[in-house]
């Protein structure tokens, strides 16, 4: 009986934890092009996705990957249930999962399929997802250079469009995508996508939601994408919602530990909620005063936003200002420790543990006569390594 029970337990464990199947993708691989190793990796991500099945991981080396090798602007990548697509692997050697670093090994999903420098022949959309769930994973990519001037229904969502879907998107940068209407960066249509540690930067829309738009179908199926420790910067709307837009009742964008700063629209609406749509923001830094627990609206003090550096300076009001419970990940967008003290707002964690006091109490003093012995001043909260000056008036 003991042997039989042991055998049953072994079989159960083997069934519960099957080995992971890996498909390798490397832009400049020169082997058999069958995805079985780094040497024989597929050179096309689209081919890898086509051949992936439930339980597969796709490992993608640094490089640029396009939805099509041709010029059909209507072709997009699509995620699959049960398939996790990971970018950020080194382009040389035989890297393991621990070698993955999406910050230094940049894997780009690009819509620049036509003439370089002419965006009018770019892909209309980079990624299109329909009826996928949270097991469809995209992690560690830059999604850029979609271009579509159409304003017809269904053409929105430049970097990514999700319909009736809830994919898991982490450590991604949505950059330089343009659509005529609805969601320059991403559009969630009756979807509940989760975005963690993502940047939405310099995306543009002619109408409604430069960085992101959330909307519902005619049957009022709700839509509620969640953005956790994300940054919206430099996004632009010709009208309505430079950063975020929500259209109609039951459309609700959820922002947690996010930074929304430096976005513009012609009507000066950074977050635009239309016909009962809502944005629920907590512990977020937003360009305009926005109601919600823990929200602030002070300059985030990015290191150098104009040149793409959205790390926080030491005195940023976003440091130690987030909500720990909103994010359980262990590393930030740069693969550094995610929580140093209290979690920060934004995609990057300030790494120093030194806390500079924000208020001091000065006591003592008195009349000071030139040539006299001086007066005694004391300062509470002073720290070693910090210089102090006392100035008249």
pLDDT per position in the chain (393 positions), as tens?
Answer: 444 444 334 333 433 444 679 999 999 999 999 999 999 999 999 999 999 999 999 999 999 999 999 999 999 999 999 999 999 999 999 999 999 999 999 999 999 999 999 999 999 999 999 999 999 999 999 999 999 999 998 999 999 999 999 999 999 999 999 999 999 999 999 999 999 999 999 999 999 999 999 999 999 999 999 999 999 999 999 999 999 999 999 999 999 999 999 999 999 999 999 999 999 999 999 999 999 999 999 999 999 999 999 999 999 999 999 999 999 999 999 999 999 999 999 999 999 865 555 567 777 777 767 666 677 777 776 665 466 676 665
Query: Is 35 part of any domain?
Result: yes
| The model scores a pTM over 0.75 | yes
**Which of 44, 61, 48 shows the shortest CA–CA distance to 95?**
61
Query: Is 14 part of any domain?
Result: no
Query: Is 306 part of any domain?
Result: no
Query: Is 222 part of any domain?
Result: yes
Long-range contacts of 339-345 (CB under 8 A, 24+ apart): 343/229, 343/257, 344/257, 344/312, 344/316, 344/318, 344/319, 344/320, 345/229, 345/257, 345/258, 345/259, 345/283, 345/284, 345/285, 345/300, 345/318, 345/321
Name the domain count of the chain: 1
Query: Is 311 part of any domain?
Result: no
Query: Is 176 part of any domain?
Result: yes
Q: For residue 288, with 0-12 CB atoms within 10 Å meaning exposed, 13-18 middle and 19 or more buried, which class applies? A: exposed
Q: What is the dihedral angle through the alpha carbons of 91, 144, 338, 223, rounded to the nearest 10 degrees? A: -130
**244-247 β-sheet, strand order:** 127-130, 160-163, 186-189, 212-215, 244-247, 271-274
Domain range enclosing 72? 22-300
Query: Is 151 part of any domain?
Result: yes
Query: Is 267 part of any domain?
Result: yes
- Residue 123: CATH number of its domain: 2.160.20.10
């Amino acid at each position: 009986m003991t042997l039989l029970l042991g055998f049953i337990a072994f079989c159960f464990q083997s069934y519960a934890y099957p080995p992971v199947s890996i498909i390798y993708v490397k832009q400049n691989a020169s082997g058999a092009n069958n995805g079985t190793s780094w040497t024989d990796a597929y050179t096309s991500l689209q081919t890898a996705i086509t051949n992936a099945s439930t339980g597969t991981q796709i490992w993608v080396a640094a490089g640029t990957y396009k939805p099509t090798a041709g010029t059909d602007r209507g072709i997009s990548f699509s995620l699959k249930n049960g398939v996790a697509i990971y970018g950020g692997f080194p382009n040389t050697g035989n890297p393991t999962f621990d070698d993955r670093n999406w910050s230094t090994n940049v894997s780009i999903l690009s819509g620049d399929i036509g003439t370089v420098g002419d965006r009018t022949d770019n892909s209309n959309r980079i990624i299109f997802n329909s009826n996928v769930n949270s097991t469809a994973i995209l992690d560690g990519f830059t999604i850029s250079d979609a271009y579509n001037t159409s304003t017809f229904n269904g053409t929105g969502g430049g970097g990514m469009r999700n319909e009736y879907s809830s994919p898991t998107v982490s450590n991604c940068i949505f950059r330089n995508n343009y659509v005529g209407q609805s969601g320059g960066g991403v559009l969630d249509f009756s979807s509940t996508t989760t975005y963690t540690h993502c940047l939405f930067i310099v995306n543009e829309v002619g109408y409604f939601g430069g960085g992101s738009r959330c909307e519902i179908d005619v049957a009022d199926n709700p839509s509620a994408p969640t953005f956790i420790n994300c940054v919206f910067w430099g996004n632009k709307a010709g009208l309505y919602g430079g950063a975020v837009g929500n259209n109609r009742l039951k459309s609700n964008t959820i922002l947690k530990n996010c930074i929304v700063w430096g976005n513009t629209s012609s009507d000066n609406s950074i977050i635009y909620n239309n016909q009962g749509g809502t944005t629920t923001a907590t512990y977020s830094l937003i360009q305009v005063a926005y109601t919600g627990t823990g929200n602030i609206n002070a300059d985030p003090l990015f290191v150098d936003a104009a040149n793409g550096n959205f790390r926080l300076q030491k005195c940023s009001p976003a440091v130690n200002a987030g909500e720990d419970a909103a994010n359980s990940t262990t590393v930030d967008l740069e693969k550094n420790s995610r929580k140093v003290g209290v979690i920060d707002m934004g995609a990057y964690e300030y790494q120093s543990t030194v806390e500079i006091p924000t208020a001091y109490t000065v006591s003592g003093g008195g009349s000071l006569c030139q040539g006299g012995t001086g007066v005694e001043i004391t300062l509470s909260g002073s720290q070693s390594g910090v210089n102090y000056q006392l100035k008249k008036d």
